[in-house]
Amino acid sequence: MAQASSETGTVSGAKTQFGYRRHADQDRAAGDMAEHPVVVVGAGPVGLSLAVDLAQRGQQVVLLDDADRIGEGSRAICFSKRSLEYWDRLGVGDRMVDKGVVWSVGRIFHGPSELYQFNLLPEQGHKRPAFINLQQFYAEAYLVDRVEQLPAISLRWRNKVTALEQRNDGVLVSIATPEGSYQLLAAYVVACDGARSSLRRMVGAEFAGQVFEDQFLIADVKMTAEFPTERWFWFDPPFHAGRSALLHKQPNDIWRIDLQLRPDADPVAEKRPENVRPRIARMLGHDKFEFEWISLYKFQCRRMDKFIHGRVIFAGDAAHQVSPFGARGANSGLEDAENLAWKLDRVLRRQSPADLLDSYHIERSAAADENIRESTRSTDFMAPNTAQEARLRKAVLALASETEFGKRMVNGGRLSVPTVYDSPLSTPDSDAWRGGPRPGTSMYDAPIDGGYLTDAFNAHGKRFTWLAFGDGSTGEPPEGVGTIRIGEGGLADAEKLARSRYDAEPGTAYLLRPDGYVAARFRHPTPALLDAALSRAAGVN
Amino acid sequence: MALSTSSNFAKPDDAFRAIVEAHRGLSDAQSADLDAALVLILANHIGDIAVLREAVALAKRRVIDLQQQQQQQQQ
């Protein structure tokens, strides 16, 4: 189905096949194993991004993967603005966006008619769009290319972790390879090994949650079509009565089609191309398409109780799983990576105490709860559990055609936005604000000086950054803290969008964390206020 | 308590009557559909999640109390 070529190891132009290579660590005598600060397990989007982030911060990273190729199929396809801004920081944003299909509009249909449309990014002045659609294998291939530019990362394919032993000062990692097994000592292990994480089992963690009975069929088809690059979602369409359907464009004339099936549908039969074809033909009104990938899935919403087990830290699907409606899986995993990278870097450099890592669990488990809540609500709306739930949904859909509130209650997936953290690292507001990102919020973008604020943040080193508006009366920040000055004597804010998005007055300043979240903000900052906010955000008490 | 439970209508009978009459001539299924739409419309009009939650709790307590009474009578 997929245009895979095992000889060249590429899929649709992206390199996906890699080779096992023996590493000198494997030749060390037993009892004299190599020691590494960080071992990341799992070279998916989360593990690859985390490795790049840590390496850019100057850490040596060992990245292990039990396979030697990038997984087949499109899988995750929607990458959020937040993820693209993160990938900009990792040096791969342009490649992703150049290849991806940019979109921000979604349409919801009920039966044969359109109920409403929404725009996820209705305003101008942002470097990145609300979303791009890009097959996961492209994202992974571009990240692998980036990894290969960074000598600080040792990426080892067909290196399967078989055991973990926690010690006081690290983790003893046992690894199986085609040439036998070896061991490593790691100060920290980060498990990015996916929903079926074997490391989660090794630490003995539970992974309980809600199981959804409905089955969904994904068919990625190749066809030439004139549909706009929008997300189309149907409730009870004429071509798929009583169920929901989704149509979404990917690069290379590939279209993602997602059809809800009955809970009792036979998964083996439903997956056969000869059975999928008539369903898709009914939807499209023709059968001039080829299958790229077919997958049938059920899903669970669940998360680990604790994302940190001793010196083993969990991120992405290994730590939490959501329903796919809302693009909250891969995007939240990337947010995990960015949240963790700077903290782990500071802890390894002994700039912050190890309990800074606790804030990773606090912030990202709250985000996982939010993502689970949002995606569960979407799923329940698509597949009502009881007759009364179905009746309420029917009422909402009926009201939506003539009322605004009804439209807004229709839940065809609430798409991923970064969670606002209620965090011990944040300094609560003490001044009066009418808007702007409050502490714990991901920074807002705005056009400045012919570029964008997110670019300026990247250029200042992705470290703690003092974002100051106005005349410079805010004084010089401490060493190691970057400064972005906007307005008088600084970067031009010609459209005044930065000022308005940050509710800034002359003298206003924000303290941004190395992951671009707001740590604190002040109308009248002083060196003492900044120092206190900085210590708090770095977990230094 | 954000939910008002004092009598708000000058003529409460008119309000009760308006709802009762809306159900006249409907099947049980149609009545249930009507109630569902009515609840959503009124909830949105109130537009206050705290009031809505209190209203849900009050209504649900009646259902559960009634259920317990019936169970006791059966015993």
pLDDT tens digits along A180-195: 999 999 999 999 999 9
Check: CB of residue A20 under 8 Å from CB of residue A180. no
Instruction: Write the CB contacts of A318 (distance below 8 Å, at least 6 apart in sequence).
Output: A42, A191, A192, A193, A194, A195, A197, A199, A200
What's chain A's average pLDDT? 93
Residue A519 β-bridge partners? none
Question: What span, in angstroms and rounded, lies between the C-alpha atoms of A398 and A406?
Answer: 8
- pLDDT exceeds cutoff 50 at A2: no
- pLDDT digit string (tens) for A263-283? 889 989 999 999 999 999 999
Q: How much is the pLDDT for A12? A: 72
User: Residue A236 belongs to what H/E stretch?
Assistant: none
End-to-end CA distance of chain B: 36
- pLDDT digit string (tens) for A227-249? 889 999 999 999 999 899 999 99
Mean pLDDT within A367-392: 93
Interface test with B, best of A405, A407, A410 (most B CBs within 10 A): A405
Q: Count Cβ atoms below 10 Å from residue A113 Cβ, excluding itself.
A: 7
Task: Check if B41 contacts A (Cβ < 8 Å).
Answer: yes
Question: What span, in angstroms and rounded, lies between the C-alpha atoms of A281 and A480?
Answer: 60
Question: Among A227, A214, A213, which Cα is nearest to A283's?
Answer: A227
Check: CB of residue A186 under 8 Å from CB of residue A39. yes
- pLDDT exceeds cutoff 80 at A288: yes
Domains of chain A: 4-101+128-209+303-360 (3.50.50.60), 211-300 (3.30.70.2450), 447-537 (3.40.30.120)
Q: How much is the pLDDT for A510? A: 96
CB contact under 8 A, B40 and A406: yes
Check: CB of residue A343 under 8 Å from CB of residue A57. no
pLDDT band at A18 (very low <50, low <70, confident <90, very high): very high
CB contact under 8 A, A394 and B44: no
- pLDDT exceeds cutoff 70 at A473: no
- pLDDT exceeds cutoff 80 at A490: yes
**DSSP-assigned letters across all residues of A470-503:** SSSTT-PPPTT-EEEEESTTSB--TTSHHHHHTT
Mean pLDDT within A170-185: 97
Chain A: residues touching B (Cβ < 8 Å): 388, 391-392, 394-396, 398-399, 403, 405-406, 409
- pLDDT digit string (tens) for B13-72? 999 999 999 999 999 999 999 999 999 999 999 999 999 999 999 999 988 887 788 777
- pLDDT digit string (tens) for A118-130? 999 989 999 999 9
pLDDT band at A66 (very low <50, low <70, confident <90, very high): very high
What Cα–Cα distance (Å) separates residue A173 from each residue in A37, A38, A40, A165, A201? 12, 11, 11, 7, 14
CB contact under 8 A, A392 and B33: no
Q: How much is the pLDDT for A5? A: 41
- pLDDT exceeds cutoff 70 at A347: yes
Check: CB of residue A437 under 8 Å from CB of residue A443. yes
Q: Closest approach of chain B CAs to the CA of A440, in angstroms?
A: 24
Question: What span, in angstroms and rounded, lies between the C-alpha atoms of A338 and A365?
Answer: 14
Q: How many CB pairs under 8 A join A and B?
A: 25
Give backbone dihedrals phi and psi of A105, rounded to 5 degrees, phi first. Answer: -105, 140
- pLDDT digit string (tens) for A25-59? 999 988 899 999 999 999 999 999 999 999 999 99
CB contact under 8 A, A409 and B40: yes
Question: Among A181, A160, A161, which Cα is nearest to A173's?
Answer: A161
Mean pLDDT within A465-481: 80
pTM recorded for the entire structure: 0.93
Q: Closest approach of chain B CAs to the CA of A396, in angstroms?
A: 7
Residue A8 vs residue A429, higher pLDDT: A429
Question: Among A119, A48, A129, which Cα is nearest to A85's?
Answer: A129
> Which structure tokens are listed for A166?
């926690």
- DSSP symbol at A347: H
